Amino acid sequence: MKKIMFLFILLFIITATQAQTIISRDPEIKQMVDEISAVRLEQYVRKLVSFHTRHNLSSRNDPSRGIGAAWNWVRSEMEKNIPASEGRLEVKFEEYTVGGPGQRIQKPVVLKNVVATLKGTDGNDDRKILISAHFDSRVQLDNDSTSFAPGADDDGSGVAAILELVRIMSARKFPATIIFMALSGEEHGLYGARHMAAKARDEKWNIIAMLNNDMIGNSGSSETLLNDNMRVRVFSEGVPAFETEQMAALRKYSSAENDGKARQLARYIKETGERYIDQLTVTLVFRNDRFGRGGDHSPFCAEGFTAVRICEYNENYDRTHKVPAVLNGIQEGDLPEYVDYEYVRKNAGLNLATVANLALAPCEPVNCGIVVSGLTNKTTLRWEVPPKGPKPSGYYILMRETWQPLWEKKILVTGTEITLPYSKDNYFFGIQSVDASGHESLTVFPGQARRPASSFK
Ligand SMILES: [Zn+2]
């Protein structure tokens, strides 16, 4: 991608009284965000609704009704972008078998995910960024596979965003690989996502981030009638679902319970998304999902991958998982006329900006640590150049007080060591790689610094 340094410059005052950092807004990312069309998003959602139901046990062979028609259509929409990608985009079904006596799906059935892989342009870069939504839908009864289940918001909105991103991003080049997943099986137990997470584990995918989009188009709640399309939630786990003893020991040693990889990704989405998307505030919810619930990111978290859920701020329970009907004067059902397409546009943009910025960024610094030898009220941080990919042009040091949820300062440095006049006892620190155009990597939360090689004489 053509890099025009500092063409559009945003001045971010990180705090009123502290250091200032200049963050560039990449004009190409801005251009891609501007290409997202609310009209197209609505067309995608209405097409998905036209299949009547996308229940996991609905017809697989009817050309215009049921889940089979839906996965065929999603696949054909994604395949339209292969020519523009000059062969870098590959679209496939990923099949898996679920169900059996005594299970929610009562007989074994083969389901299909649709997976579009946009290969990275750097052959030595094995990083993968995943973005998902689910195309299956349901109504009240688990096994009702014939009633009208429009699933416009849940999760037609997420699938529409994925299709729009494939369309726009396939024509561009990114060093890292981007995998767009339209999943089935979600409504009966996250089966499509479980299948993909197990595959990623078995094939040892180097996933740096997984963004699950599930319900990103409803802007009013059923109880309050508040209309708010200016806020979206990002859910991220705190203490990771997957932890080895060694990882748990390091977490406790460095007080990292609020600084796991999913939490760093959530903060990254907020910063990057708000950099590019106007009139959208990202609210970080510091839990894996809604109270006691889960989503397609959960199986990825369980396998130790960095995964979060993006979701509308307000849910409308008159509509979710209901057969469309007017009851007591209230229209129930997840119908396309109740989706706020301008809101879907903004949320799709949030995904695009995040994924693009990350796919263009250099790899994360390695061996990031805080020097602990000697008692001092200063903090020395040390890290090493990432072994893969282009050398970063610099690094951002992030800082915040320990009780703060978000990074408060962002300081650009060029070496691989810095001493700051702030105590490691009173602040948390993070380190990012950054290129000349301002694309930053995810944040690495440092442990204890290794002794430099020169001290082992
Ligand atoms: Zn859903």
Centre of ligand 1 to C-alpha 55, Å, is 12
Strand, coil or helix: what is 104? coil
Ligand 1 centroid to residue 153 C-alpha, Å: 8
Q: In this structure, are residues 301 and 312 in contact, taking their beta carbons and an 8 Å threshold?
A: no
Cα(161) to ligand 1 centroid in Å equals 14
Q: How close is the Cα of 147 to the center of ligand 1, in Å?
A: 17
pLDDT tier, 227 (very low <50, low <70, confident <90, very high otherwise): confident
Q: What are phi and psi of 419, to 5 degrees?
A: -115, 125
| pLDDT band, very low/low/confident/very high, at 21 (cuts 50, 70, 90) | low
| pLDDT value at residue 24 | 74
C-alpha 134 to ligand 1 mean position (Å)? 7
CA of 160 relative to ligand 1 center, distance in Å:
13
CA distances from 149 to 104, 145, 332 (A): 18, 9, 11
214 burial via Cβ count (<10 Å: 0-12, 13-18, 19+): buried
Percentage of the chain modeled with pLDDT above 90: 85
- Ligand 1 centroid–CA 157 distance in Å is 10
Cα(156) to centroid(ligand 1), Å: 9
Cα(403) to ligand 1 centroid in Å equals 33
- What residue type is 327 in one-letter code? L
Query: In which band, very low, low, confident or very high, does the pLDDT at 107 lie, cut at 50, 70 and 90?
Result: confident
In angstroms, the CA 327 to CA 87 distance is 51
What's the CA-to-centroid distance between 111 and ligand 1, angstroms? 17
Helix (H, G, I), strand (E, B) or coil at 354: helix
Q: What three-state secondary structure class fits 276?
A: helix
CA of 192 to the centre of ligand 1 (A): 12
pLDDT in the model for residue 451: 60
DSSP single-letter state for residue 72:
H
CA 136 – ligand 1 centroid, Å: 8
- Average pLDDT value over all residues in the chain: 92
Cα(234) to centroid(ligand 1), Å = 15
Q: Are strands 366-370 and 379-384 parallel, antiparallel or unpaired?
A: antiparallel
The predicted structure's pLDDT at residue 124: 87
3-state secondary structure of 337: helix
Say how many Å lie between the CA of residue 170 and the centre of ligand 1.
26
Q: What is the pLDDT of residue 79?
A: 98
Q: Measured in angstroms, how far is the CA atom of residue 167 from the centroid of ligand 1?
A: 23
Please check whether residue 187 is in contact with residue 138, taking contact to mean a CB–CB distance below 8 angstroms. yes
How far, in Å, is the centroid of ligand 1 from the Cα of 190?
Answer: 9
Whole-number Å distance, alpha carbon 233 to ligand 1 midpoint, is 14
Contact yes or no for 138/26 (Cβ under 8 A): no
Cis status, amide bond into 155, omega within 30 of 0: yes
Q: How confident is the model at residue 299 (pLDDT cuts 50, 70, 90)?
A: very high
304: alpha, beta or left? (left if phi > 0; alpha if psi -120 to 50): left
- Give residue 291 CA to ligand 1 midpoint distance, Å: 15
Higher-confidence position of 13 and 280: 280
On the question of pLDDT at 71 being above 70, the answer is: yes
CA of 191 from ligand 1 middle (Å) equals 12
- Which pLDDT score is estimated for 22? 63
Which pLDDT band, with edges at 50, 70 and 90, does 222 fall under? confident
CA of 42 to the centre of ligand 1 (A): 18
Identify which has the larger pLDDT, 370 or 224. 370
- Distance between CA 430 and CA 147 in Å, rounded? 51
Per-residue pLDDT tens over the stretch 199-208: 999 999 999 9
Cβ–Cβ < 8 Å for 33, 41: no
Best CA proximity match to 343, nearest among 197, 227, 176, 169: 227
Distance from residue 158's CA to the centre of ligand 1 (Å): 9
Res. 102 pLDDT band, cuts 50 70 90: confident
What pLDDT shows up at residue 457?
Answer: 35
Model pLDDT for residues 419-441, shown as the tens digit of each residue: 999 999 999 999 999 999 999 99
**In sequence order, what are the residues at sequence separation of 6 or more whose Cβ sits closer than 8 angstroms to the Cβ of residue 366?**
383, 384, 385, 386, 387, 444
Q: Do the Cβ atoms of 344 and 427 come closer than 8 Å? A: no
Question: What whole-number distance in Å separates Cα of residue 7 and Cα of residue 220?
Answer: 38
Is residue 15 predicted with pLDDT exceeding 70? no
- Residue 379 to residues 267, 374, 450: CA-CA distances in angstroms? 23, 11, 15
3-class DSSP state for residue 131?
Answer: strand
Task: Say yes or no to pLDDT of 23 above 90.
Answer: no
What distance in angstroms lies between residue 11's CA and the mean position of ligand 1's atoms? 38
Q: How many C-beta atoms lie closer than 10 Å to residue 375's C-beta? A: 5
Say how many Å lie between the CA of residue 138 and the centre of ligand 1: 9
CA 154 – ligand 1 centroid, Å: 5
What is the mean predicted confidence (pLDDT) over 171-188? Answer: 97
Ligand 1 centroid – CA 137 distance (Å): 8
The yes-or-no verdict on residue 64 having pLDDT over 50 is yes
